[in-house]
Chain A
Amino acid sequence: DARVTQTPRHKVTEMGQEVTMRCQPILGHNTVFWYRQTMMQGLELLAYFRNRAPLDDSGMPKDRFSAEMPDATLATLKIQPSEPRDSAVYFCASGLGVTQETQYFGPGTRLLVL
């Protein structure tokens, strides 16, 4: 049963520190999505990639957030410097893209910035 994996599952850090979250999409999936979930804003799309190329990162605060796919098996989301308002659960999802529109979510990284 292939699943999207994310690390770390939990992260507590202090304001101003760099945070890096990692995602391993399901093998063979060519689209990767980063979402942020908060009680107030629900599920927000931050950025997404197809075949490792960024397609849309308009949902991401560009001054502090960056998303990359160094290779087909790894996607990263970085926050530098982190702020308390970044506290949320960050989900990665992957999909087959061209042939199928379904997205499969990872377990999420629960981030707390103090």
Chain B
Amino acid sequence: GENVEQHPSTLSVQEGDSAVIKCTYSDSASNYFPWYKQELGKRPQLIIDIRSNVGEKKDQRIAVTLNKTAKHFSLHITETQPEDSAVYFCAATPFTGTASKLTFGTGTRLQVTL
């Protein structure tokens, strides 16, 4: 089955700096890669996703890049703000048109300091 590794486990950046979180996956059939943000005591919420037919996707201050050859994808947050502080999870799945079984990374705790 799929295995997703995520690094780093914790990340501290100053407000205004950029943050990068990296994930690798093992199943070359995986074609859908979402990123979830989970604030303390809250549900995981989808913030951005990318499919294997594109290499990069951007939404305001967040972007995701995908390297299918190397089987890794990354989340980039620019101009970080205190409200970006949360745990971020990457995930991967070989979606085939039936139910997609997401495999999650272990999470990155991002702390944005003033």
Contact = CB atoms under 8 A, between A and B. Distances in A.
B104 A107 contact: no
Contacts of A104: 46
Contacts of A33: 102
Which bracket fits the contact residues of B? 20 to 34
B101 A101 contact: no
Which bracket fits the contact residues of A? 20 to 34
Contacts of A43: 44, 89, 104, 107
A101 B98 CA distance: 8
A50 B99 contact: yes
A42 B103 CA distance: 11
Interface string B89-112: 100010101111111111100000
Interface string A98-114: 10011111111000000
A105 B89 CA distance: 13
Given A42-B106, A50-B99, 12 more contacts: A33-B102, A42-B89, A48-B101, A91-B44, A95-B99, A97-B98, A97-B99, A98-B97, A102-B46, A105-B43, A105-B44, A108-B43
27 contacts: A31-B99, A33-B102, A42-B105, A43-B104, A43-B107, A45-B101, A45-B102, A45-B103, A48-B99, A49-B99, A50-B99, A55-B99, A91-B43, A91-B44, A95-B99, A95-B100, A97-B98, A97-B100, A98-B98, A101-B93, A101-B95, A102-B34, A102-B46, A103-B100, A103-B102, A105-B36, A105-B44
